[in-house]
Amino acid sequence: MTTTAIRHGGLGNAISDALTMIGRSIRLSRRDVETLMMAILLPLLMMSLFVYVFGGAINTGVEYINYVVPGTILLCVGYGAASTAMAVADDMNNGMIDRLRSMPISSFALLTGHVVASMAKNALSTAIVIGTAIAMGFRPNGSVVDWLLTAGLLALYVLALSWLAAGLGAVARSVQAASGLSFFMLFLPYLSSAFVPPGTMPAFLRVISENQPITPVIETTRGLLTGTPIGDNGWTALVWTAGLLLFSFILATALYRRRISR
């Protein structure tokens, strides 16, 4: 037989496996048009709703469209993460995981594939949100360096949330369960400075809002793009995001190992 000569294992093959699975996940999410549309249109709809309906009544001290863009981007990231959790759960529960695990490859490539596809999906949705916002009157004034810093911070945040989603997908016993588990990722942006300044919230909500990771990320992004004061938020955002990434990666790896442990 010709195939017995093929060697499995080794770093080269591990990278090749990861690339194959990344290609697969990107192809699958590109073709799942409904989920992709939902993940992009819903946040756009929310942005329009806030800008044209509620925005007039919210006093943020700046033009409301300039205030709301970073929050909308993070809302999008939440939806993207939820769809990643669902895609992972689908693979864990429909037999694909058994096929991969009965092959001489590292089945970890499955998660890598989903996480990288999630990054690509979010890059697209972020570009769409910013483009639409500019059409609606968003006027960013950040420099090239500001934009690069924003992209870096958002990429780190997306990566953290994607690993968290991969972990949730790995424990979920069904696609619906994965969707349920991801609910908090969709909800958390509302309890931040995404749409209204936390100063207007009741005391206990303000405590949550001011001490959760999304608020510093939003404040930093807003500062970089529109020139509002950033203060300590830059470092807080970085520490939160890096910590979340480390935590999510370890959690996802552990949950995945446990799920496939024999």
Indicate the residue among 139 and 257 with the shorter CB distance to other proteins: 257
- Please name which of 184, 193, 170 lies closest in space to residue 251, comparing C-alpha atoms: 170
CB 154 within 8 A of CB 39: no
Indicate the residue among 94 and 200 with the shorter CB distance to other proteins: 94
Interface with other proteins by CB under 8 A: which range of 5-13, 50-58, 188-196, 210-218? Answer: 5-13
CB of 136 vs other proteins, minimal distance in Å: 33
Site string for other proteins, 9-28 (x = CB under 8 A): x---x--xx--xx-xx--xx
Indicate the residue among 28 and 208 with the shorter CB distance to other proteins: 28
Binding residue count for other proteins, defined by CB under 8 A: 30
Dihedral, 112, 114, 117, 119 alpha carbons, nearest 10? -80
- Residue 73 tokens read as 């981007």
38, amino acid identity: M
Footprint on residues 97-116 left by other proteins (CB under 8 A): 98-105
Helix extents (H) in 94-197: 96-101, 109-135, 144-171, 175-181, 183-187
Interface with other proteins by CB under 8 A: which range of 95-103, 170-178, 183-191, 226-234? Answer: 95-103
User: Which residues touch 18 (CB under 8 Å, ≥6 apart)?
Assistant: 109, 112, 113, 116
Residue 21: Cβ within 10 Å count:
24
The CA-atom distances, in angstroms, between 5 and each of 18, 119, 191 are: 22, 36, 57
Indicate the residue among 204 and 262 with the shorter CB distance to other proteins: 262
CA distance 91 to 28: 12
CB of 85 vs other proteins, minimal distance in Å: 18
Indicate the residue among 7 and 202 with the shorter CB distance to other proteins: 7
Q: Which of 53, 57, 199, 262 binds other proteins (CB under 8 A)?
A: 262
The CA-atom distances, in angstroms, between 219 and each of 109, 207, 248 are: 35, 16, 22
Site string for other proteins, 26-55 (x = CB under 8 A): -xx--xx-----------------------
Q: What residues line the site for other proteins (CB under 8 A)?
A: 1-3, 6-9, 13, 16-17, 20-21, 23-24, 27-28, 31-32, 94-96, 98-105, 262
